[in-house]
Amino acid sequence: MDRNAEFKRWKAQGLSKADLSRKGSVDEDVVELVQLLNGREQYFTTSSCAGRIILLDGIVALKKANGDAILKFEPLILHVQCRQLQDAQILHSVAIDSGFRNSGITVGKRGKTMLAIRSTHGLEVPLSHKGKLMVTEEYIDFLLKIANQKMEENKKRIERFYNCLQHALEKETITNSHPKEKIKDKNNSSYTHKKKRNPEACGKCIEENDKELENDDDPGISVTIFPEDY
């Protein structure tokens, strides 16, 4: 079976599976993004979380409850299976330029190419130990304010990513319909690492977002590719 046919089979199987999350549906803040990706022949999403603020007992999860409460904010995480490495590189470049600078690509032994879209602006703070509150209520209020601010920034990044992705996919469609232009583009790498941003990937989106991301707490990283048993 050729690679394209095999990817189509994987995609059909993946999208036909029942949603096993507790919620049972895609988070509202990423519905349009997930639909955009799944509507393209070269991508499909395997899991997603738009971001969340939670208060949990870290030890409860291990069945040994002792009252160690932790406040957490977790930003967007989105896993996307890509038809080929080039498709993943385009998506990775857009994610990096949109603020999700902890994103990475994994290439499996069977040829499955996965992209994890994520960032590092999470928050995890212990509040109590063995049932005893270790911080003041005023500090908890402060942490909640910070967590809510991070959630708002997370939503802005999701919207930014969606807009830049639309632009990149439209440009790719135009390029693919003009082979001569595509050959010319190959002379200029369609994918760059770290902060060497590629105007081909997001066009004007990059110029509009660079200033906003100057003080971003996410460090720029290069793509990591390593084999997994897929």
The tokens for 229 are 């048993």
Cβ proximity of 89 and 143 under 8 Å: no
Q: Would you state the pLDDT for residue 174? A: 78
pLDDT < 50 positions in the chain: 61-63, 183, 186-203, 214-215, 218-228, 230
Q: Would you state the pLDDT for residue 147? A: 97
Q: Would you state the pLDDT for residue 34? A: 95
Half-sphere exposure at residue 157, Cβ-oriented, CA atoms within 13 angstroms: 29
Q: Would you state the pLDDT for residue 221? A: 36
Closest CA to 223 of 76, 37, 81, 94: 94
Q: Would you state the pLDDT for residue 118? A: 95
Q: Would you state the pLDDT for residue 155? A: 96
Q: Which amino acid makes up residue 138?
A: E
Q: What structural domains and CATH numbers belong to the chain?
A: 3-210 (3.30.1960.10)
The pTM of this model reads 0.74
Q: Would you state the pLDDT for residue 218? A: 45
Q: Would you state the pLDDT for residue 42? A: 95
Q: Would you state the pLDDT for residue 198? A: 45
Q: Would you state the pLDDT for residue 226? A: 45
pLDDT tens per residue, range 66-119: 668 899 999 999 999 999 999 999 999 999 999 999 999 999 888 899 999 999
Among left, alpha and beta (phi > 0; psi -120 to 50; other), residue 49 is: beta
